[in-house]
Amino acid sequence: MRPPITGKFNRILLVFLVVISAGGQQSDKPPATPTKPESFWDKVLRYAGISHDASNLKAPGDEVISGSIWIANLGASATKRVSTSGGYRSPIFVPGRNAILVLNGANVVEVDPASQKGVIRYATPSISKLVGFSLDNQDSILVLLDRGSGRPAPGLLSMSSGKINPLPYDPASSRDLEMIEQLQSWERTYGDTSVYTKRQSKETLYGAAEWTDVYTKQGAKPPVDVSNCDGVNCGQPSLSADGRTIVFIRSDRN
């Protein structure tokens, strides 16, 4: 007579049947799609002032090396100087508060437009240009770095720590080089608003005088001269986050 099946054997048999059954079932979940690496363009387009559609041409006014900080109130059509001295370059507005971040020599300086006082935030001689703040991370600033190679390198500056991380791109890619050209230019695009510089001229008693002014164009509206520098080169413009104010540099010299 066959001996009775023990409880232990029943448990082993049950586990075996469950494993066989699970192996025969097919999952309803589709296979995972590999995540596509984020491109250099995708990363840069998350910063204020950068657009797919910019002309990428170095506009007149790029010769403005440094000067005093001015702002133009677009609603009131008025300009105001907000620094007590010159030597500044590449200003951008700090989102969320009334402050301007700007380069002065080897320093990144934060300027309060109301008091016209500046405070050195970091000593970073490698930065040649402040491009703009991240649209989704107010701690991150897109900058251009002078690496001594003839072509500036993009990097990300942390507002909180002052640390700079390089932003890699492909120097063999014509598309990536096109974006580098855009970062070097002073033409900036914010939604349907573009900010750029334009050469002006007039006849004087001493002959023709030429200079550059800052212009803005909103949608289908005609361009507007917002700096009215009248004989002095102005450039390096940047728009505030609320779209109401433009900061620019009025040259130390004509």
Q: Which residue has the tokens 């934060």?
A: 110
Q: Provide the 10 A C-beta neighbour count for residue 92.
A: 26
The predicted pLDDT at position 56 comes to 45
Going from the first residue of the chain to its last (254 residues), give the mean pLDDT of each consecutive group of 10, the final group possibly shorter.
Answer: 52 48 54 73 94 60 81 91 95 93 96 94 93 95 86 93 94 94 92 92 80 93 94 94 95 76
Could you give the CA distance from residue 67 to residue 75 in angstroms, rounded to a whole number?
Answer: 25
The predicted pLDDT at position 64 comes to 77
Closest C-alpha among 135, 161, 109, 165 to residue 46: 135
Could you give the CA distance from residue 30 to residue 28 in angstroms, rounded to a whole number?
Answer: 6
The predicted pLDDT at position 203 comes to 78
What tens digit of pLDDT does each residue of 215-225 get?
999 999 999 99
The predicted pLDDT at position 54 comes to 59
Residue 141: both structure tokens together: 């600033």
